[in-house]
A and B are shown apart, each in its own frame.
Chain A
Amino acid sequence: MRKITRREFIVRTAGLAAACEIGRRLGMAGATAAETWPAVVVGRGTNADTAAAILKTALDGLGGIGRFVKPGQTVVIKPNATWAYPPGTASSTDPDLLRALIQMVREAGAKRIIVVDRSTLWPTAEALQISGLGKVLDETGVEKIIPEGYLAPAQLCTMVEFPKARVPEFRKIPILKAAVEADVRINMAVAKSHLVTKYTMCLKHMMGFMQQPNALHVQLEQGIADINTESAVRPHLHILEAIRVRLPVGAARQAGGEENEIANPRRVKRLNEIVVGTDPVLIDAYGCINYFSIKPQELTHVKFAAEAGVGEIDVEKAIAAGRLQTFIVGRATPTPTATSTPTATRMAPATATRTSTPGPSPTPTRAPTNTPLPTPEPYNAPAAATRSHPKAEAEAPAPGNLADPTPFFGVALIPAAAVVAGASIVMRQRLGHQAPRPAEAPSAPSESEEDADAGETDGR
């Protein structure tokens, strides 16, 4: 990937400054133009903030989407569309977040937007349908390349070299062609537990660009580090979604499941954060500390990636140098980033220096993570579930009712109309010629018979 120098950036964004971000940016326009953008920005909100608002806050801290996407470019977005579980379970990317990103990229002037993923565990149609992402893709009208199964068709792929990879087998592997050929690649991962690596964030999410993701499992941790090294598929922007975070409970470390924050608050926690940046290692390191309360070095693939020179693993140093900043929704200036020390309080993300936010509505400070939601209702009450997750309840279809058949019957009316039209052509000729004759009577019901027959068949 080609790095953009500060000078180039200033020149290029001069004309775009008005388009991306008006209200908040105006106040700090003079300041931002003169300083270095941070490598990683944390956007933080509350339960009242939409995913779009948090994403916008975070991206604005990083210089806006216009810093990455220029008009006329082809943009590849790689969400997590692997799991067929409803929204709100922290299994796949939040549909609202994907919609917000697609809209931002489109407003930045992208010519083509292609959503790319590998749906390995489920049929693509089913995963898209249940996770709610398919609706977003259809409504926004973006292209999608989501091959299913563990081996994508070869014509969709191209060989990509990873010269710095340590495992020899991974120095040249097939990658989805659309991602390689795009101008901009955006990698949007979900912070989740994972069976093998224990946690998965931006680094591991890169596996979804591969033709055969399970091939990496042969040496998974080193392989993850390897595919993040310098290559033609390296993303320009990483987005880590921590609106909801899936936590491991004992041996249950599946990266997807039916649980949501209501039914199983120990597994799915609502944190309302989105981390964006250009350094996936720093993002993952921040995530290790703040979401999973482990040292980044404990997560082997993050450590390997840092050793391979993919990015910076020392979060404290990055914060001190201003390379990692935190923005809160509704506030123009960065908030001091706090990281909890892993040994001090397990499972306690940074809440110590949390300041109240002067947002549009007075939002409560985040509750301690032991009680993850400020909802007073009992967790398993169906009423609470419906209220807090109207989307999850409404959009998750019952199994067996994957698609509404009603619009599809409409298409079947075309051949049915052909049947009726053909029958009426034949019958009209007979009626027309026999109309003046008294023998018309026995002929008349014949048309209705033909039509009734056609109607019967069409109704089935």
Chain B
Amino acid sequence: MLAKPMAAEQQRRRGRLDRAGRRSVQLGFLLLFLYPLILTAYQRTTARAAPSFTSWLLPWDPLLLAGHLVHRNWGALVIAAPLLLLAFTLLLGRFFCGWVCPIGTVLDLVRPLAFWRRRKPRPPRAIPADRSGKPGRPPGVRLFDRRTNSRLRYFVLIAVLAAGIFSLQALGLLDPLVIFQRTATALASNAFALRMPALRTFFSLISLLFLAILLLELWQPRFWCRNLCPLGALISVFARFSLLNRRVSDACTLCGECQHVCAMNAIPRREPHDTDYTACTFCLECESACPNGGISFGFGTLAHKRWQRAARNGQMGRGPQRQGSYVAKPTGFGHQIGRRELIGGVTAGMAGVALLPALRLTRGRALLRPPGALPEEEFVRTCILCQECVRVCPTGGLKPTALEGGPAAIGTPHLVPRVGACTRNPSCPHLCAQVCPVAAIRPIAADQVRIGRAVVEHDLCLAWDQQVKCLVCVEACLVEAAQVYNGRIIVDPTRCTGCGRCENACPVAGSAIHVKPFAELT
């Protein structure tokens, strides 16, 4: 198990290859997760038909699954992907955070931008002998530094799950995979001009969180992953029992280089032989950074237990041992969810939930929701703002709400017929319902679509106001709801589906026929 000290050059080469391999895996996963989005952009920019895939990222989200479970939506268990991910976590620890998670990839990519954090690697230090002639600890390592990763992420996890009982939106707001999905869609929409100009407002509102994550990264490496990420917290609960282990041999001179390169702060300051498996993502950086080649990774049946057990035989707390590592005393690493996290988190979550009615106090105007959307209150509570429906809408008519619907509706989708009408009847196979990860939009038959009802503005309509035979809306209407009556336009309310083709087509500036949500009509 213990690798022999390798030649420095060989080890450097190995480190470079490792890093290249890890980058390749990360970028590959990033592209895979972006792939449905790339297809959409391809379809919009070239006008060639391309399939609309659902997100390849969100089905893997254990946090969303947990959100479903707190809603007692047991059917979500059918999607085995999150459970598979957790099973892999038992095997490989927090590999997801270091090798797969798109947010982690982006953070790894922006970290070199923090030029003020760049430091030259320290030269290996000789270990001065202590009084008894045994090698002691170098002065550079602060032995009693108890600063470890904060337990805040457990608070966040508990709070998010507690709030998720009442509103999945709170969960979606902080779920890193949803944050990534949301921001990527917003960015791509702006870049590829998917006819969503209002996205700039949206981008400044909802994607602020992603921006904050990026800025925190420039302050401290992987700050989000270490301290805040609720998904990371959920994964680390399982990662404690990882089968993949980091081993430190007796070549360790306590030089502290591994602690220096560890982005996740997974190596205790006071005891570099130990590893915090709730933080370690197995990025392998420490392995090539070790000047003595004393670090290796390998599988073993609960190997960390075995290594600890071996340590107890010998010289506790007195310098590096001949074989293996040791634990001088419990380092306080590998936090579990204790009573403190549970109570604090639930309190925070409840406080957040208590704020929700306050959000609703300032309600905006009623909005046209996608066809098959849940009733308004329930829809706002369920939608996790992932923007999947906005991405796949074939006409681009679904847009994220900025401020017009009030604070509670920020980021939820609504239909803007002037940009693009709903083609649920008859050509669109109800894509928005197919991609919705939380079933806030339910699939319905095409003849059941009732988004709103079209209303003619008589003082603007050419047929009403100027007796012009325009009839563009009648031409656009697919269900013959817009009709000509005595040369004027009337709308048959029993037929109108509110798809908005008439509003989209109207030649009057600003449209003389508007689809109104039912809340505004009554």
Contacts and interface: CB of A to CB of B under 8 A. Distances in A.
Contacts of A134: 47-49
A144 B47 contact: yes
A421 interface: yes
Contact of A446 (B53, B299, B471): B299
A449 interface: yes
Interface in B283-312: 284, 297-300
Contacts of A420: 28
B195 A218 contact: no
Contacts of B50: 125, 403, 408
- Residue among B29, B429, B474 with most chain A CB within 10 A: B29
A146 B48 CA distance: 11
Interface in A101-138: 120-126, 128-130, 134, 138
B92 interface: yes
A403 B49 contact: yes
A457 B100 CA distance: 10
A149 B475 contact: no
Interface residues of B, number: 67
B127 interface: no
A196 to B, nearest CB: 5
B460 interface: no
A265 to B, nearest CB: 22
Nearest to A214: B507
A446 B244 contact: yes
A101 to B, nearest CB: 20
Interface in B147-200: 195
A125 B53 contact: no
B47 A121 contact: no
Contact of A215 (B23, B427, B474, B507): B507
Contact of B28 (A401, A405, A418, A433): A418
Given A146-B47, A149-B504, A422-B25, A195 B471 contact: yes
Given A149-B504, A422-B23, A423-B21, A458 B32 contact: yes
Nearest to A445: B299
B423 interface: yes
B297 A220 contact: no
B56 A460 contact: yes
B78 interface: no
Question: For the side of the interface on A, what is the size category?
Answer: 35 or more
B237 interface: no
B469 interface: yes
Given A150-B505, A445-B299, A255 B28 contact: no
B92 A121 contact: no
Interface in B68-111: 81, 84, 88, 91-92, 100
Interface in B216-239: none
Given A426-B18, A430-B297, A214 B24 contact: no
B504 A405 contact: no
Interface string A201-238: 00000000000101111111000000000000000000
Interface in B465-503: 468-472, 474-476, 501
Nearest to A425: B21
B347 interface: no
A415 interface: yes
Contact of B427 (A126, A128, A196, A212): A126
Interface in B239-275: 244
Interface in B375-404: 394-395
A437 B4 CA distance: 11
B4 to A, nearest CB: 9
Contact of B462 (A218, A404, A423): A218
A376 interface: no
Nearest to B504: A150
- Residue among B56, B475, B476 with most chain A CB within 10 A: B475
Given A399-B426, A403-B50, A443-B298, A254 B21 contact: no
Interface string A394-406: 0000011111110
Contact of B300 (A149, A402, A442, A457): A442
A422 B24 contact: yes
A126 B32 contact: no
A196 B484 CA distance: 11
A27 to B, nearest CB: 44
Contacts of A138: 48
B76 to A, nearest CB: 16
For the complex of A and B, the 9 pairs showing the least CB-CB separation, nearest first, are A400-B429, A422-B24, A418-B28, A425-B21, A415-B31, A419-B28, A422-B25, A405-B51, A403-B49
Given A121-B476, A124-B47, 19 more contacts: A195-B471, A215-B507, A217-B472, A402-B51, A403-B50, A403-B51, A404-B51, A415-B27, A419-B28, A421-B24, A425-B18, A425-B24, A426-B22, A429-B18, A439-B298, A445-B299, A449-B88, A457-B29, A457-B100
